[in-house]
Amino acid sequence: MNGLMMNQQLTLASIVEHAERVNGSAEIVSVTAENPRHRYTYREAFSRSRQLADAMSHWGLQQGDRIATLAWNDYRHFETYYASACSGYVCHTINPRLFPEQLVYIINHAEDRFVFLDPDFLPLVEGLAAQCPTVRGWVVMASESHMPATELPNAICYESLVASGSADFQWPPLDENAACALCYTSGTTGNPKGVLYSHRSTMLHAYATMMPDALAISRADVVLPIVPMFHVNAWGNPYSCPMAGAKLVFPGNKMGDGETLCALINEEKVTLSAGVPTVWLGVLAHLKASGQRVDSLRQIVVGGAACPLSIMEEFDGYGVEARVGWGMTEMSPLGTVNASASQRDSYSDEAFAKIRLKGGRPIFGVQMKIVDDAGEELPWDGESFGSLLVRGPWVCSSYFKLEGSGAHAREAGWFETGDVATIDPDGFMAITDRTKDVIKSGGEWISSIEVENVATDHPKVAEAAVIGHYHPKWSERPLLIVVRGPQGQDLTAEDMLQWFDGKIAKWWTPEAVEFVDELPHTATGKIQKVALREMFKGYTFSS
Ligand code: AMP
């Protein structure tokens, strides 16, 4: 027998309708190139989203068509999220930090029909537009008076587009399982893979992130997402904040600027923020240098990479609780949050210093287990470590246009995270290692394989390997290890680093180069990264 409750579809349009009626006067403040503090209300934001959607409805798009964005965190990006997804299109957020060849690959693989871009990215996009045949128009996110001259074919001014639409636009009814957003993640092997979120998965994830032991978002909060909207939908903040009625503060392209972030926190009375460890190092450096405080801030969530204890302890001194969050693009992204500080009194100082470093406990909705190499489940004893598998309504079941792509490599119905972890009897998960070899610098992936490919192209190099190595600012930076070829006796580290110029993104260039006589190999001839990491365990980058 079925229950007799209404079968209301969980779609993003319901957030718009709720926020317009219930949270309409809450503010959204943005830093943009045109205005250091653009401010308006949710009601105005969603009215403009409807105008934008109406304008887009004349483009002859089909439901499910991809609308890409190459944009910072700001109000126009927020409007585009909702205008595209609530119209039944898929908002494909692209990471502008990717190398142009990857951008071309992603735009073509996603078959993006229109691309919305911040003027900052015009030089990048002008160079690749000719290689993107599916794109019918490029929307430059600027006002008419700030619209830059561009060689882009069919360049459209964002504000003119919005002005051409009606705010009376009504959202079409959608199935909750329809796709709403797409985000590519770059792995160790081959090309980036697309994670395709549904309205339902996004809604359930947003609900879950609001819970007290997760991000704890309420109407009383002022939320500053320093996690990019182009990387897993800024951890769901653009959805959860209008649900809760929390004020949103968008940092625009100032995500790496400690001074602006501290000014935003203090001027806008930010209570809650989320970002990768690198961001918090910048904020702390500014606080120390300026003697400022951040008294409104009650909590930050640090994720994307392991958080050093020093960050948490320094924030203790400012009266800010630093919570670790763990997740991944394939998990929308949130899997666990560490809210152990809320039970601080139940731990000794020593135990607390240990427990707070862990990834945290799974939020309701995420199931997890650890397995050994044979796939046998391991105990939750805090010591046994194995491959971490997860499942839940906001976990990816397979990648976009890559059916059978191995999301379920180990066991049907479970997603293999690629992380190695322990889980203790209370459910605290701790990442101990990564089964993948990609490197994570400042929260962003660097593909070791691509860097190695460029390095081994050098005529004086016999063999090369790249490993991620601890860096105090970026969490991890690539360290290149080279075996010189027969003609390479005079090859220097400087020669090697210059070789990367123009061949890969600048920030992918190795931090340092070390030379060895030979690299450790497996029986099948593969370089043993684990052994290499062990060899360079005590290494320190000079900068
Ligand atoms: P992404 O899909 O780019 O968000 O990256 C997800 C990966 O980042 C995870 O599989 C982990 O390897 C790593 N990661 C995320 N959060 C944490 C954390 N709190 N501690 C350690 N590694 C993390």
Q: What does the chain come to in residues?
A: 543
Report, as an integer, the average pLDDT of 94-104.
Answer: 89
Same domain, residue pair 34 and 73: yes
Report, as an integer, the average pLDDT of 126-136.
Answer: 97
Residue 446's pLDDT is: 78
Please give the Cα distance from 410 to 314 (Å, whole number): 40
Residue 44 maps to a domain: yes
Residue 29's pLDDT is: 98
User: Are the CB atoms for 31 and 74 separated by under 8 Å?
Assistant: yes
- Tell me how far the alpha carbon of residue 305 lies from the centroid of ligand 1, in angstroms: 5
| pLDDT above 70: residue 151 | yes
Same domain, residue pair 187 and 252: yes
Atom number, ligand 1, closest to the C-alpha of residue 232? 4
With a 6 Å cutoff on the Cβ, whether 328 touches ligand 1 is yes
With a 6 Å cutoff on the Cβ, whether 185 touches ligand 1 is yes
Contacts of 205 (CB under 8 A, 6+ apart): 236, 239, 332, 334, 365, 394
Query: Which tokens is 37 given?
Result: 């503090």
The H-or-E segment that residue 86 falls in is helix 75-86
Q: Which residue has the higher pLDDT, 59 or 519?
A: 59
Last residue of a domain, one of 334, 351, 385: 334
With a 6 Å cutoff on the Cβ, whether 324 touches ligand 1 is yes
Same domain, residue pair 237 and 154: yes
Q: Exposure pattern of 421-435 as b/e (b: 16+ CB <10 Å)?
A: bbbeeeebbbbeebe
Query: Which tokens is 441 given?
Result: 């610098």
Residue 188's pLDDT is: 44
Nearest-CA residue for ligand 1 atom 1 is: 328
Please give the Cα distance from 254 to 442 (Å, whole number): 15
3-state class (DSSP) for residue 119: helix
Q: What is the CATH number of the domain that holds 409?
A: 2.30.38.10
Q: What is the pLDDT of residues 39-86, one digit of tens each?
A: 999 999 999 999 999 999 999 999 999 999 999 999 999 999 999 999
Please give the Cα distance from 222 to 216 (Å, whole number): 12
- Tell me how far the alpha carbon of residue 519 lies from the centroid of ligand 1, in angstroms: 28
With a 6 Å cutoff on the Cβ, whether 417 touches ligand 1 is yes
With a 6 Å cutoff on the Cβ, whether 51 touches ligand 1 is no
Please give the Cα distance from 204 to 182 (Å, whole number): 16
Residue 543's pLDDT is: 67
| pLDDT above 70: residue 522 | no
**Strand-pair category, 334-337 with 321-327:** antiparallel
3-state class (DSSP) for residue 243: helix
| The amino acid at 414 | W
Same domain, residue pair 65 and 157: yes
Same domain, residue pair 390 and 241: no
| pLDDT above 50: residue 477 | yes
Residue 386 maps to a domain: yes
Same domain, residue pair 377 and 500: no
Give the Cβ contact number of residue 238 at 10 Å: 24
Angle at 150 between CA 160 and CA 182, to 5 degrees: 70
Angle between helices 309-317 and 277-290 (to 10 degrees): 40
Q: What is the CATH number of the domain that holds 68?
A: 3.40.50.12780
| Cis peptide preceding 172, ω within 30 of 0 | no
With a 6 Å cutoff on the Cβ, whether 303 touches ligand 1 is yes
* DSSP 8-state assignment for residue 252: B
Atom number, ligand 1, closest to the C-alpha of residue 333? 4
Please give the Cα distance from 174 to 64 (Å, whole number): 11
**440, 441, 447, 448, best to mutate for ligand 1 pocket (most atoms within 8 Å of CB):** 440
- Tell me how far the alpha carbon of residue 303 lies from the centroid of ligand 1, in angstroms: 7
Last residue of a domain, one of 384, 403, 434: 434
Report, as an integer, the average pLDDT of 438-453.
Answer: 77
| pLDDT above 60: residue 407 | no
User: Are the CB atoms for 130 and 108 separated by under 8 Å?
Assistant: no
Picking from 78, 75, 80, the residue whose alpha carbon sits closest to that of residue 52 is: 80
Picking from 83, 63, 90, the residue whose alpha carbon sits closest to that of residue 182 is: 90
With a 6 Å cutoff on the Cβ, whether 434 touches ligand 1 is yes
Q: What is the CATH number of the domain that holds 523?
A: 3.30.300.30
Nearest-CA residue for ligand 1 atom 5 is: 328
With a 6 Å cutoff on the Cβ, whether 235 touches ligand 1 is no
Picking from 120, 160, 117, the residue whose alpha carbon sits closest to that of residue 137 is: 117
Nearest-CA residue for ligand 1 atom 15 is: 304
Q: What is the pLDDT of residues 171-190, one digit of tens each?
A: 999 999 999 999 998 654 56
The per-residue pLDDT of the chain, averaged, comes to 93
Residue 526's pLDDT is: 63
**Strand-pair category, 137-140 with 114-117:** parallel
- Tell me how far the alpha carbon of residue 460 lies from the centroid of ligand 1, in angstroms: 35
**DSSP-assigned beta bridge partners for residue 300:** 273, 322
Nearest-CA residue for ligand 1 atom 20 is: 306
Confidence of residue 542 (pLDDT cuts 50, 70, 90): confident
Same domain, residue pair 463 and 428: no
Atom number, ligand 1, closest to the C-alpha of residue 336? 19
Last residue of a domain, one of 406, 434, 462: 434
Residue 309 maps to a domain: no
Residue 353 maps to a domain: no
Same domain, residue pair 63 and 204: yes
Same domain, residue pair 401 and 371: yes
Percent of the chain whose predicted confidence (pLDDT) is above 70: 96
Angle at 265 between CA 264 and CA 268, to 5 degrees: 70
Same domain, residue pair 221 and 158: yes
Active-site annotation, residues: 185, 330, 440, 445
**DSSP-assigned beta bridge partners for residue 334:** 327
Same domain, residue pair 400 and 514: no
Residue 414 maps to a domain: yes
Domains identified in the chain, total number:
3
With a 6 Å cutoff on the Cβ, whether 112 touches ligand 1 is no
Domain carrying residue 515: 439-535
- Tell me how far the alpha carbon of residue 79 lies from the centroid of ligand 1, in angstroms: 28
Same domain, residue pair 239 and 382: no
Please give the Cα distance from 532 to 521 (Å, whole number): 10
- Tell me how far the alpha carbon of residue 429 lies from the centroid of ligand 1, in angstroms: 13
pTM for the model: 0.86
- Tell me how far the alpha carbon of residue 358 lies from the centroid of ligand 1, in angstroms: 12
Could you write out the DSSP letters of every residue in 272-289? EEEE-HHHHHHHHHHHHH
